[in-house]
Structure 1
Amino acid sequence: MRLRVSLTDSKTLHGMIQSVGKVANKCIIRFSQSTFDIIVTGADAPEGVQIWSQVMTNALFKPDVLRIESNFNDQINLEVATETFLHALKSSINAVDVIIRLAKRDRDPLLNFTIGNSTVNGARLEISQEVLIRVLRPAEISRIREPECPVPDACIYLPRLHKIRRVAERMQPLSDTITVSANRAHELKLSIEKDEVKIETTWRDLDHPDLEIMTQARHGRVESEYRSVRLDMKSFMRFLSSSVVETKSITSICENHCAIFYVYIGEEDSGSGVMTFFLPAVEV
């Protein structure tokens, strides 16, 4: 097994891992020739939240400095602590060049970051960071599967996540859960209800993605009818931390089952990548 890559977009990768770190203290990173994936399984995050992120390899790494070799279809799966990975990435953000390679210290596998910088006088300065990892066997990876969800009942583009977060922060002290609702009339609603308190906020004139055409064909309902899912408030707030990498976001609501949030890395039509958050419904 061999891994040697040159990281060209430390800022984006740092933002992605920062978002993941709000949800879980460890994640799986997957290197392959075409894509780079970050995975958080339901077993590693509170309330069963899962994250499945995928970015094109050439969006993060130099194509001409790319050595990813393994007996598992040239795919390398590593489990890493988000905190230590973040520390190494933070040191890389303003670097001239960053080489990441698979190495060992004694018998412990690790990722070695060689971070090149220039001094004021133009001299080259290198620092090295090590991130301990666990190499996952193919049998372990075969048991990890993306959640299966029903066809969405509603799909809608979201307002900027930091705007949603400001609203949710005011609701958080009043309820442990929050209901996310959307309809075909371009509306998104957040609401809480506890004892004698009911608060809701509605955004209007939002766009629908093409997937909405599929759900319209499936459901012959009136446009103003909301489809809803109740979520754990803390899990929802953790998801909203992904605003650090967001350009556009979509939510798909599977009523009373889950909410799926797609956070695009770079412009949506560039195909660079997307972070997908699966938040299960809270039983009423």
Structure 2
Amino acid sequence: MKFRSKIIDVGCLNHFTRVVNTVSKLTKSCVLRLTRDHVYFVLSGKVSTGGVSMWCELLQVNFFDEYQMEGVSADANEIFLEVTPENLSRALKTAQNAKSVKMKLTKKNCPCLTLAAELPSLSSVSRVVTHDIPVDVIPKRLWQDFREPQMPDFDVSIYLPPLKTMKSVVDRMKNLSNYLVMEANLKGEMNLKIETDLVSVTTHFKDLGNPPWGDDGSQTVSQSREDNLMAEVRVDIRKLQQFLTGQQVNPSKAMCNIVHKRILHLIFLHEDVSLQYFIPAVV
């Protein structure tokens, strides 16, 4: 089992750092899945018991100038590592002006993801800062727990309003309640609502548009659903705020799927990154 990679391009390094920073804001621990073509950050929370789950997918060729990996075996050419993303984020922060950054899987006192940043130097001798980030190697028998989550059978899919606007609204609502209701329909309308014994507040958005999921043969919304019929989900407002606060991916598309009174499925799409986040409903 081997892994080594190298980033030289500063734009790629900054982009990778933003992705890791986003993941570190969403979870204290996650699984780093390495394949020949992709790098994944996975959080496999049990939605049925109130946990959030996350699936972040990167196309490695768009980030790494060099990338080599050998999985546990020829028929299982993958590596699964449990990692603390905050540790990786801190290491990358010291490498922002680096001429290159190398990452490889090493064996010290324990398995480590070793990051070596070659920093600019006034002398002819380069300075290399090395970080050893402890990881746990996940055995193959547990891999099935960290596979890509299936797209839920949603009732409504809708594009999100500008994220800064949405975050501002959620930040204000958090001061009034611990829970938020998000509702949307197939006419591109979305409402954010809180209701308590003392106050009821609703923010309306319209003309957001609905993603054309059926155009490429993928999942479609039930055709029997009336366009103006709202699907809603009540969620922990802190989990939604955490997601909106943490994201640094700057998505080209941001959307959400609502499974009525069950799941809020948020999706951010960038040219070479996709981030999915599942927040379960609360009663």
Structure 2-normalised TM-score? 0.89
SS of structure 2 residue aligned to 1:231: strand
User: RMSD in angstroms over aligned alpha carbons?
Assistant: 2.1
Displacement of 1:165 in angstroms is 0.8
Higher mean C-alpha displacement, 172-181 vs 72-81: 72-81
Displacement of 1:6 in angstroms is 0.9
User: Is the contact made by 1:47 and 1:235 (CA closer than 8 Å) also made in structure 2?
Assistant: no
1:1-284 to structure 2, matched below 5 A, reads 1-7=1-7, 8=9, 9-42=12-45, 47-62=50-65, 65-72=66-73, 73-106=76-109, 108-120=110-122, 124-148=126-150, 150-211=152-213, 215-216=220-221, 218-247=222-251, 248-266=253-271, 272-283=272-283
Number of residues paired by the alignment? 273
User: Is the contact made by 2:187 and 2:209 (CA closer than 8 Å) also made in structure 1?
Assistant: no
Q: Which runs of 5+ in 2 are unaligned?
A: none
The one-letter code sitting in structure 1 at the alignment partner of 2:119 is: N
Q: Percent identity?
A: 25
User: Is the contact made by 2:95 and 2:119 (CA closer than 8 Å) also made in structure 1?
Assistant: no
SS of structure 2 residue aligned to 1:240: helix
SS of structure 2 residue aligned to 1:22: helix
Q: Structure 1 CA distance, aligned partners of 2:138 and 2:105?
A: 13
Q: Structure 1 CA distance, aligned partners of 2:193 and 2:152?
A: 23
The one-letter code sitting in structure 2 at the alignment partner of 1:110 is: C
Q: Which runs of 5+ in 1 are unaligned?
A: 267-271
SS of structure 2 residue aligned to 1:253: strand
Displacement of 1:143 in angstroms is 3.0
The one-letter code sitting in structure 2 at the alignment partner of 1:155 is: S
Displacement of 1:121 in angstroms is 5.8
Q: Structure 2 CA distance, aligned partners of 1:229 and 1:43?
A: 17
Structure 1-normalised TM-score? 0.89
User: Is the contact made by 1:52 and 1:275 (CA closer than 8 Å) also made in structure 2?
Assistant: yes
The one-letter code sitting in structure 1 at the alignment partner of 2:276 is: T
Q: Deviations over 1:37-92 (max 9, x none)?
A: 00012169x94010011111112212xx2210022432111111122111111122
Q: Structure 2 CA distance, aligned partners of 1:122 and 1:100?
A: 23
